[in-house]
Chain A
Amino acid sequence: MRMKAALTWLVLFSALFFSGSAFAVKPDEMLANPVLEARARHISEGLRCMVCQNQSIDESDADLARDLRLLVRERLTAGDSDAQVIDYVVSRYGEFVLLKPRLSMHTILLWAAPLVLLFAGGLAVFFSARSRRREAPSLSPEEQARLEAILHKN
């Protein structure tokens, strides 16, 4: 199935933006300062290429991704912190640009789901095990007496 995803965006790019290169970050975009460049790469990995299916701007070849990469680097050179850069990008493009959605009212279910499910599942397991143990048939007094009788007969 993976290939189909691959197909999607490659088809898309080839039709719209294809410039012939296979990957995103190009040497002429990169910052001279390796620390800043590393930060830029890190930030880029968390930002979505808006015209792609599920790619970060670090991976994408689209023009828009390139613009965003340059924007991120521009902000970093201007002295912004990582958080400020991300805030700036979000203010311009909306939350859709974040590959890791922010915790807010409308994403609380998303973020809480794993823990809630694990907890609920754990409780379900616990209670079903307990109730099953309680249901476990033990011999009634009459049965016990009959068992004794049978055992003693032999």
Chain B
Amino acid sequence: MVEIGHFALVLAFALALVQTVVPLYGARTGNDRMMAVAGPVAVTGFALTAISFLALAAAYALSDFSVQSVWENSHSLQPLIFKITGTWGNHEGSMLLWVLILTFFGALVAAFGTNLPATLKANVLAVQGSIGAAFFLFILATSNPFIRLNPAPIEGRDLNPILQDFGLAVHPPLLYLGYVGFSICFSFSVAALIDGRIDASWARWVRPWTLVAWMFLTGGIAVGSYWAYYELGWGGFWFWDPVENASFMPWLAGTALLHSAIVMEKRSALKIWTLLLAILTFSLSLLGTFLVRSGVLTSVHAFATDPTRGVFILGILMLFIGGSLALFAWRASALTAGGLFHPISREGALVLNNLFLTTATATVLIGTLYPLLLEAVSSDKISVGAPFFNLTFGPLMVPLLVMVPFGPLLAWKRGDIVAVAQRLMAAFAAAIVASLVTAFFIDGASAFAVVGVGLAFWLVFGSLTDLAVKSGFGNVGVGALFRRFIGLPRSIFGTALAHMGLGLTVLGIVGALSFGTEKILSMHTGETVELSGHTVRFDGLFPDKGPNYSEDRARFELVGENGKTIGEIHSAKRFYPVRQMTTTESGIKTIGFSQLYISLGDEGTDGSVVVRLWWKPLVTLIWLGALVMMAGAAMSLMDRRLRVGAPSRRRAKTPAAVAASTP
């Protein structure tokens, strides 16, 4: 089975080479049959990669310790789910997941792209194939998951305990679907550059793909954030860590791409910029892969400390980013810009959106790489941490968030800013009231809190205003209003939901950061502590055993006003003997949108235990907001006008193609 997987992987690599060379040559020479190779090869390549992946997953599920990767990252006592998710809980397996998703997207284009112009399809699949080939080679040469051990060890070394969590089942697949999903936009852009033109079907295809990738990336980042929040035991949800930034940069650039693709699709303006942005977005995904996989950020990175991998990925990075940008510089002038618009218009608003989002992306990029670059050129060591990003990224977001509700309400080509402002009066009033309430009724509210709450309400009510205006609120009767509301295009709901989700996330961030409270103390059994109006009693520590760990579980009771128990919170410290590691399992009680969070520290000699408690108001809105954003993207995807697919029309064969196919 393992050898079948290994063999399938080698075959997939060979096919990726075929997928790169043959269709590309076919498209250049106008050979239809060579171009037609791309589709079946892409589908077969995906099937082979899937076989390879399943073979590895089976080795993990069956605890086949004769495979080195399984031996290093699994244990026979692990619950089955963690055995399976362990497949991608390590460098080799996660790279295999990466190429699996890459070939999956390629196969999707091959299967559903029947109405794409033949040369475009051939070029897209060829570019997609070339990315695949590079990464297949990377896996086979430096990170082969199928290496056998002889003699086979009897027991494995266990998956890292922190990864033995449901988060591992969801976070990497979602994140990779997002990261790698942008490869399709990249391939389309490079294909357009090779072709030297962008037509209507290009825009129609790129936007849904961007939406899909963006939706998954949003989910992946949100899951990662929540996972870190509950697993790390100190209640932070975003750390501006370089590895985190690596996933955040493609998200920011992808958000910009999403918006510029709208302009391109609807108004055929900003073509060249959209194309560049698509290239940059996937380049940032590749950069993220490099940063995380090469270990360049830190010498102690758990996954990859082997420099050969880093150099290999750096090569891939330079080849694809450098190559595509060079191609862009060379060919972009051949593309025609189209669509004129007045600065005050929907297009104008989306340009501003792009300006701020790309500046924010660049800020994160510079902040992440600056210490590395500075050390390389001057050997000065500095740190760029959360305070820097809060001070630079934060202020960049404020004007952007202020502008958000204006965008969807402005007309295309030439908008009336005064009329839009009048329509937004109600949302503005809601924001002002929310800010004033925050300022006067909440003790110690900072300026950040006042502005943040106002912005959050502005976003939420701004998106509601958009829906209301477009259903004809104030102009038609209730019945007609309802009918028009139901009949609104799904993409309008999508926009409103996504913007509303953003508002909810902002509210959650502001709530948790500004109004949260914290207590650190030593507690004895039976002692109570009060935090922001919640009384918590410590019932004691109880030893417990899991399949591959032992734990000390602390039970806390949430005591109501009448002294009765209204809830239990369990917080534990687990010890995994195989890796000799301790993890914390924080106890979380969700009350409304807020959470009470308890984490355990050292035990004292007198039977007391150090306890850290947080009250995190509205914190769940951070991730619920992300869910709402994803729902918005899903809603947009369901819009009939945007359903994945190009306008069905038969494309006349080019003279060259006709000539080539007639003997």
Q: Which residues of A contact B (CB under 8 A)?
A: 1-8, 10-12, 14, 18-27, 30, 45-46, 48, 53-56, 59, 94-101, 106-107, 109-111, 113-114, 117-118, 121-122, 125, 129, 132-133, 136
Q: Contacts of B233 on A, CB cut-off 8 Å?
A: 22-23
Residues of the A chain whose Cβ atoms lie less than 8 Å from the Cβ of B378:
106
- Tell me the minimal C-beta distance from B647 to chain A in angstroms: 27
A125 near B355: Cβ-Cβ < 8 Å: yes
Chain B residues engaging chain A, CB cutoff 8 angstroms:
160, 162-163, 167-168, 171, 175, 221, 224-225, 227-228, 231-234, 236, 239-244, 246-247, 288, 292, 297-298, 300-303, 337, 340, 343, 351-352, 355-356, 358-360, 362-363, 366-367, 370, 374, 378, 380-388, 391-393, 396, 520-522, 573, 579-584, 586, 599-603, 610, 612
Contact A5 B239 (CB under 8 A): yes
Known: A59-B236, A98-B383. A20 touches B160 (CB 8 A): no
Residues of A within 8 A of B366 (CB): 109-110, 113
Q: Is the beta-carbon distance between A54 and B302 smaller than 8 angstroms?
A: no
What are the 5 tightest A-B residue pairs by CB atom distance, in nearest-first order? A99-B385, A22-B233, A100-B387, A22-B584, A21-B601
Task: Tell me the smallest distance from the CB of B360 to a CB of chain A, in Å.
Answer: 8
- Given the interface contacts A27-B610, A95-B382, A100-B391, does A3 sit within 8 Å of B242 by beta carbon? no
**Residue contact A26 to B301, C-beta cutoff 8 Å:** no
Q: Report which of B241, B392, B520 forms a contact with A53, defined as CB distance below 8 A.
A: B241
Q: How far is the CA of A54 from the CA of B386 in the complex (A)?
A: 9
Task: Judge whether B162 and A6 touch: CB under 8 Å.
Answer: yes
Bound form: Cα–Cα A117–B380 in Å? 24
In the complex, chain A residues whose CB is within 8 Å of the CB of B228: 2-3, 6
Residue pair A12, B300 in contact (C-beta under 8 Å):
yes
A120 to chain B: closest residue by CB? B359
Q: Please give, as numbers and ranges, the residues of chain A lying within 8 Å of B360 by CB-CB distance.
A: 114
Q: How far is the CB of A24 from chain B (nearest CB, A)?
A: 7
A141 to chain B, nearest CB (A): 22
CA distance A53 to B295 in the complex (A): 12
Which one of B168, B298, B351, B382 has the greatest number of beta carbons of chain A within 10 Å?
A: B382
Contacts of A22 in B (CB 8 A): 232-234, 573, 584, 586, 599-601, 612
Q: Would you call A96 and B381 a contact (CB within 8 A)?
A: yes
Bound CA span A134–B392, Å: 36
B610 near A26 with CB under 8 A, answer yes
Expressed in whole angstroms, the minimum distance between the Cβ of B503 and any Cβ of chain A is 23
The answer to whether B340 touches A136, judged by C-beta atoms less than 8 angstroms apart, is: yes
Q: Using A53-B300, A118-B396 as known contacts, say yes or no to A27 and B520 having CB atoms under 8 A apart.
A: yes
Among B227, B343, B382, the residue within 8 A (CB) of A101 is B382
